Structure 1
Amino acid sequence: MTTTKPLPVAPAASPRRRTTFVFAASSIAALLVAASALTPFYPGLEHELDITALGVSLIFAVYAIMLLAALVTAGAISDHVGRRPVISIGFSLLAVSMLMVAFVDSAPMLFAARALQGAASGLLTPALSALLLDATAADRPQRGSLLNSIMPGTGLAIGALAGGIACAFLVPGLPITFAALAVLYAVIAVMVWRVPEFTSRTPGALRSLIPRVTVPLKARRLFLISAPALMATWATGGLFFSLGPSIILERLHSDSPLLQGAIVAILPAAGAAAVLLLRRRSARSVALTGTVSLAIGTTMALVALAADTVAGYVLSVIITGIGFGASFSGVIGSLAPKAEPHTRAGLFAAIYVTSYLSFGVPTVAAGFLASISSVSFTSLAYGIAVIALALISTTARVRSRE
C-alpha cells in the first residue's frame, strides 16, 4: 500500500537497521496488546457500568469501525510525511485512550476511549508495517513479511492473557493495567524519533486521504471466492474478543478472568503459530487449511459448549485459531500477486473493508441477539453462520483451482 522510493540504505548488518527492525516488530505487538487487553474485563464492566451484551458489542464494534475509517483514509499518509511523525502521533493518541479506559466511569466514556483507540490503531497499523519492511535486511526480505503476519497475533495473545492475569490478581486491575499501557505507548511515541527513516517522502499527502477501494479485474473472481473466508475469519475474532468471556461464563460456568483471558489468548496464539508453520506452503494451500480448520474448529466448539467441557472447548479454540491465522494469511498471499503496484492499495483497502466490517458488524448483531435471547443461543447461531461461510469459501476455492 506504500508508494515510497527506498533511499540508499545501510548494509544488511547495520546496527541501526537491526534496531529499527526490532523496534518496529515489537511496536506492532505492543499495539495489538491494547486491542485484546480489555476483553477479560468486559464481564466486570457490564456490571459496574450497567452495560448489556449489546453495549459491549457496540463498544467493541466502534473500535473496529474507527480503525477501518482511519486505515482507508490515512493508511498511506506515512509515505508522504514520514513514518516517525505518524507513529509518534498514533502512539500518543493511543496513550490518551488508555488513560481514558484506566479511569473510565461511564459507558459513554468507554465508548469514546475505544473510538479513539481504533482511530489511533488505524493510523499506526500501516505505518508500523511499512517501517518494518523498510528496515528489513535486503538479503533476508522474507523476514519482514513473516513478522508482519506473526506479530499481530502475538500481541493479541499477550494482551488477552495479561488482561486476564491483571483482572484476576491486581486490585484495582483495570486502572493499573491501562495506566501501564499508557506509559508504554508514551515511551514508544518518544523513542520512535531515535530510529532512522529509510524512505524518501513523496508529494500528495492530502490527495492520499481520499479513500480508494477497488478490486483489479484479474483479482475479482478470486476476491469474491475469498470474501466468505475473510468474513468467517474476522467474525470469529470479533466474537471471541467481545463476548468470548461471557460465553465461557454462561456455557462453561467459569467466572475466572484468568481462564477466560487464557482461552481467548489461544485463538490468536494458534493463528500466529499456524502462519509460522505454514509459511513454506502455497497460498492456496494455506487458505484452504484455514477455512477447513475454521469449519472444523467452530463445529467442535459448539459441541464442547453443549457438553460443558472446558478441555474440549480449549482444543476447539486451538483448531479455530489455526483457521483464524491461516485463512487470512492465505487470502492475502493469494490476492496480492494479482495486483499491479498501482492497483495494490485499492485491493488491500477492499480486503481491509471486508475484514473490519466483518470484525465489527456481526459482533453488534450477536450482542443484540444475546440481549433478547441468551449468549448460548447467540453462540450457536453465530457458529453456524461461521461454519457456512467457511464451507462456502472452501468449496468455491477447490472448484476454482486458483
Structure 2
Amino acid sequence: MDRMRRGWRQCVLGGAVFAVCMAGTTLPTPLYGLYQEKFGFSELTVTVVYAVYAFGVIGVLLLAGNASDAVGRRPVLLAGLGFAAASAGCFLLAGGLGWLYAGRLLSGLSAGLFTGAATAYVIESAPPGGGGRATFVATAANMGGLGCGPLLAGLLSQYAPRPLYLPFEVHLVLVAVSAAVLLGLGETVRQRRALATVRPQRPGLPPPVRPVFGPAAIAAFVGFALFGVFTSVSPAFLAQSLGVHNRAVSGLVVALAFFASTAGQLAVGRVGARRSLPLGCAGLLAGLALLAGALYWDLLALVVLSALVGGAGQGLAFRGALSVVASASPPDRRAAVISTLFVVAYAGISVPVIGVGVLVDPIGLEGAGLVFIACMAVLVSAAGAYLLRRSDP
C-alpha cells in the first residue's frame, strides 16, 4: 500500500511539474498586443515570434528526443526547467524584438525536452495496473498546462500591476518550486548510459505505417495549425474586430481550446482509436467552419464555440493519430515514427501561422483567417474522406 501511494504521489507531482513547464510555452499569448505597442512591430512579426517556438521543439525532437532513455528522465526534465527559466528571463529583460525571439526559442527547447520525457516519467511512475490513469494524468498535465498559461497571463496582465513582468516572475517562482519537487522524486530509468551515446533520431516510415500515416499526419497538422492560429492571432482579432480588449477574456478563449482538447483526448478511450481519427477530423472541420463564421460575422460566441469544438476535435484526432501510427509501427522503429508525426504536427504550428501573418497586410486579418480556414478545411476533408473509404469494408 505504501509503495502504491508513493507511486501515485510521484505520478501526480511529475504531472504538476509537466503542467508548469507547458504553461510557460503559452504564457505570452495575451501579451503580444502589449509587445506590439511597446516595440512597434507588425502582425507578421507576431506570428514569426510565435512560430520560432515550433522550430525549437522540432530541433530537440530530432536531435535529442531520446536523450531521457539514456541519461534518465530527471536530468532531462531539470534541463527543460532550466530552459523554461531562461525563457522567462528573456521576456523579463526584453528591450527589443531579439529578446522575444530568444525567449520563444528557449521555450521551444524546454517543451521539446519535456514532451517525451515527462510523459514517460508520469506513466512509468504509476504503480502496476495504473497505466490508464497515468496516461490521463500526462494528457491533462500537457494540454491543461498549455491552457493555464494564457489564462494566468491574461488575468495577471489585466488585473495586476506590471503586465509585461508579473506573469513571468510568477512563472519563474513556479519553475523554481518545480525543480525542488523534481529533485525530491525518484528516477524511473534503471539502466542509464552516457549522454555521448544519444544519437539524432532520423524520421522514417516503415512500409506497414505508410497507409495510415498520411491521414493521421494531416489531421495532426491541421489540429496544431488551428491551435497555432488561436494562440498567435486570436487576441488581435478579438481586439481589432470584436472590441474585446480585456486580456483575461482573450486568455480564457485560448485556454478553452486546450481544455477542450484534453476532454477530446480522454474521449478516445470510449470511442476507440480508429473511430476517433475520423470523428476528430469532423470536429476540426466543424471548428474551422465556426471560426469562419466568427470572422465573417464578427461574433464572439462563434469564436468560443470554435475553440470548444475545434479543440475537442484536435484532441480526438491527435490521440487517435498517435495510437493508430504507434500500433502500425514495428517496435524497433516506433520512436522514429512517432517523432516523424510530432515533427509534422509542430510544422502545423509554424508554417500556416506565418502564412496568416504574411496575408494580414494585403488582405486584412479576417481575409487571412478565411484563406487559412479554406486551406485547412480542404486538407482535413481529404483526410476524413480517405479514412471513411478505408473503413467501409
Quote the residue 2:357 is aligned against: 367
More moved, 275-284 vs 66-75? 275-284
Query: What residue number does 2:172 align with?
Result: 182
Q: How do residues 2-401 of structure 1 correspond to structure 2 at under 5 angstroms?
A: 13-203=3-193, 205-401=195-391
CA distance in 1, matches of 2:70, 2:268: 35
Partner secondary structure for residue 232 of structure 1: helix
Q: 1:264: how far off?
A: 1.1
* Native 8 Å contact 1:12 1:138 kept in 2: no
Q: Displacement of 1:13 after TM fit?
A: 4.3
Where 2:165 maps in the other structure, the secondary structure is helix
Regions of 4+ moved over 6 Å: none
Deviation at 1:284, TM superposition (A): 1.5
TM-superposed CA distance for 1:394, in Å, is: 0.5
Contact 2:88 2:169 in 1 (8 A): yes
CA distance in 2, matches of 1:12, 1:296: 47
Deviations 1:136-166 (A, max 9, x none): 2212221222232232211111111111111
Distance apart, 1:207 and its partner CA: 4.1
Q: How far apart are residue 202 of structure 1 and its match?
A: 4.0
The CA deviation string for residues 247-283 of structure 1, in whole angstroms up to 9 with x for no partner, is 2122322222122111111111111112223422211
1:160 counterpart SS class: helix
Name the SS of the counterpart of 1:196 in structure 2.
coil
- Is contact 2:154–2:248 with CA below 8 Å preserved after alignment? yes
Cα deviation, residue 114, structure 1:
1.0
What TM-score do you get using the length of structure 2 for normalisation? 0.95
- Structure 1, residues 211-231: CA drift from partner, whole Å, max 9, x if none? 221122101110012222122
Which letter does structure 2 place at the counterpart of 1:279? G
What residue ranges of structure 1 are gaps of 5+ in the alignment? Answer: 1-10
CA distance in 1, matches of 2:139, 2:330: 21
Question: Residues 12, 65 of structure 1: CA spacing in aligned structure 2 closer, same or farther, 3 A cutoff?
Answer: farther
- Answer with 42-51 or 183-192: which moved more: 183-192
One-letter amino acid matched to 2:204: T
Retained in 1: the 8 A contact 2:356–2:372? yes
Please identify, of 306-315 and 196-205, the stretch whose mean Cα deviation from structure 2 is larger: 196-205
Q: Which amino acid aligns with 2:333?
A: T
Identity value in percent: 25
Q: Give the 3-state SS of the residue equivalent to 2:243 in structure 1.
A: coil
What's the offset of the Cα at 1:14?
Answer: 3.0
Q: Deviations over 1:346-401 (max 9, x none)?
A: 11111011011111111111111113331111111111112111111100100112
Output the CA distance in 1 between the equivalents of 2:148 and 2:127: 27
Contact 2:14–2:182 (8 Å) recurs in 1: no
Query: SS in structure 1 opposite 2:164?
Result: helix
Q: Given residue 343 of structure 2, which amino acid in structure 1 is its aligned partner?
A: V
Gaps (5+ residues) in structure 2?
none
User: Residues of 1 paired with 2:364 and 2:191: CA distance?
Assistant: 53
Amino acid at match of 1:311: A
Contact 2:223–2:317, Cα closer than 8 Å, also in 1? yes
Contact 1:151/1:272 (8 A) holds in 2: no
TM superposition shift of 1:82: 1.3
Q: Is the 8 A contact 2:69 2:192 kept in 1?
A: yes
SS of the residue corresponding to residue 139 of structure 1 reads coil
Q: CA deviation at 1:35?
A: 1.6
Q: What SS does structure 2 have at the residue aligned with 1:174?
A: coil
Could you tell me how far apart the structure 2 residues matched to 1:367 and 1:320 are?
21
Q: Distance in 2 between matches of 1:371 and 1:201?
A: 54
Q: Deviations over 1:287-339 (max 9, x none)?
A: 11111011112112211221122123212221111112111011111111111
The 3-state SS of whatever aligns with 1:209 is coil
Distance in 2 between residues matched to 1:358 and 1:274, nearest whole Å: 19
Aligned to 1:138, the other structure's residue is in SS state coil
Query: How far off its partner does 1:75 sit?
Result: 1.2
